[in-house]
Structure 1
């Protein structure tokens, strides 16, 4: 009984330790968010102090751009809300601004108009001569207008975003796309035409090069999801083999190898509810999947052999799965691959290799 109590006490302590760890991570995240909001509030608060009657200022804009450049792209909704509430509250109460100011429309401050509470003002800001986005945050805010709740704003974003992206630093555009593409299927108001606008931005040569560099060099995060969404267009088809062999993240290499070996790429375009039992109100969300055949042809056996000797078991597992479905196609070459898998250091892969060998020598 004492042993049982000790084990129960130890189990409770471990659970409480995990809960404390999760709580600590949550508090740290909230602390970082509050810190970023304070920095943004401080920068916005300094805007009215030196803006002159003709709407020109360099010091405050520099402070604002520096502050927003350091903000993460993971909490854009909070950033927009902060700008909307605090900046325009300053505009309403400040006496520094001249009522007939017109030059401010051509000033970098007009980018803040994309967060205005009034849809007409957001549309007006989009149709103004914005020029290149000053940093990734402002380009992300412009891109989010494709999911705006006002149809006219979405229409303006659809028209203006390609030219903004063309003139913006491709590093900024690539950063925003990497942060956006894994989650854009959850945007409830975006339409298919708007998605095509984003995909057309991906096709811009300098943006595609920046995206490729990030996919190859990123070591963490949902990069495999980014690659999957980029596969809606054939822009990256010619890079899949290089990504499969050189990407640092194992899940990215695994995704690239799977696409090459299957000759197609599959992506999630959204989710839909399916009833399981209407009497009890039970239902589940099923992914809506689409696929596209790759436009490039690669040597199947060579790619499979390369995947089978990859340094990550995640990638080698893909090789074993593809091998099972292509035993007849590979003939004698399948035996060498199966023996290699059977001797793998990963127990699950070794078991898969032994299964393949058993299937190959099993009498008909």
Structure 2
């Protein structure tokens, strides 16, 4: 495993070589394979740092290697490439987005294009809205999903992101190849904010038909619990943001209150069958959801309620067994 210092040296070297080839005066597009290889090894969780590092190094090399103005025949061709998405010039970022075609070289460069939705220049954001769906359809779905996984769980912190920008990203998740890769990622990931990913993607019906599969087979217990809860309640709930709420305006005291939104699912699931599966899940987190739903629907379940209540009451997890015992007490009260 490479250390961050080694990653940084590789990035700087690849950026330097690419910048020199851009400014060499050749009338061919420079080869950026070394830069693509270097950025393919980066974690996208620290994307802001790598973007600033590449921008600084690229501009410094271009500035220092600019051909003499007395030799106009050696002036460089102003190529626009994926690396210009890092440019400090808003006009160049906009022009780069408008000129891009084909697939993104890797996850890093597609993530750079996604970040332009939060750009400080309005025209750049508009260009990103137009081009991102086109680029996503041409790109490797795994590269697209990599970028979405570092964007969707945190996009509420992007101050310039508007509803139109969110619709663009949700449109990308609905691309068939991307939605399939996204489902597999949510199910197979052993770490990361996959529960938040499922909730944010759930703003649309893209994964509604996969919720039963996710509930049964996802690796992370929190993801399975979220999927089961959605199936039980028939709706998807997601975190929309926070708003300030005064608790005592006389003393200027208040707090940030979470804002939730919801959408009814486009599919239905047999309640009792789903409850039985959740009740025997190997994670207490999921079995707690089963206990909660059993208590809520005791009157409608019928004879199976006693079996399920006894099963949960004998659970090895105290938080699950408490729910089972409470369900048994309610059943006794109903019979009395």
> In which range does the TM-score fall when normalised by the shorter chain?
over 0.9
Q: For 1:66-105, what aligned pairs fall within 5 Å after superposition?
A: 66-95=37-66, 98-99=74-75, 101-102=77-78, 104-105=79-80
Q: Deviations over 1:264-292 (max 9, x none)?
A: 01001111111122333322111111100
Report the RMSD for the aligned CA atoms in angstroms.
Answer: 1.8
CA contact (8 A) 1:48 1:90 kept: yes
Q: Quote the residue 2:149 is aligned against.
A: 178
Q: 1:68 to 1:278 in 2, by over 3 A?
A: same
Q: Is the 8 A contact 1:342 1:353 kept in 2?
A: yes
Q: What TM-score comes out, normalization by structure 1 length?
A: 0.86
CA contact (8 A) 1:273 1:286 kept: yes
Q: 2:274 aligns with which of 278, 293, 303?
A: 303
Equivalents in 1 of 2:226, 2:3: separation in Å?
33
Q: How does 1:128-277 map to 2 (within 5 A)?
A: 128-277=99-248
Cα deviations by residue, 1:320-354 (Å, 9 ceiling, x for unpaired): 11111111111222111110000101122112211
The alpha-carbon distance between structure 1 residues 152 and 168, as it changes in their structure 2 partners (threshold 3 A), is same
Question: 1:36 Cα deviation (Å)?
Answer: 2.9
TM-score, with normalisation over the residues of structure 2?
Answer: 0.93
Query: 5+ unaligned residues in a row in structure 2: which ranges?
Result: 69-73
Q: Distance in 2 between matches of 1:48 and 1:135?
A: 19
Equivalent residues of 1:111, 1:130 under 8 A apart: no
- Partners in 1 of 2:27 and 2:160 — Cα distance? 35
Q: CA deviation at 1:54?
A: 2.3
| 1:6 alignment partner in structure 2 | none
The one of 1, 8, 14 equivalent to 1:43 is 14
* Unaligned runs of at least 5 residues, structure 1: 1-30
Cα 1:78/1:55, change in 2 over 3 Å: farther
Contact kept in structure 2, 1:268 and 1:288, CA below 8 Å? yes
Instruction: State the shift of 1:129 in Å.
Output: 3.1
How many residue pairs get matched? Answer: 328
In structure 1, which of residues 100, 123, 132 is the aligned counterpart of residue 94 of structure 2? 123
> Over residues 101-129 of structure 1, what are the superposed CA-to-partner deviations in whole Å (9 max), with x where a residue is unaligned?
15x23xxxx11111111111111111113
CA contact (8 A) 2:20 2:62 kept: no
Deviation at 1:249, TM superposition (A): 1.1
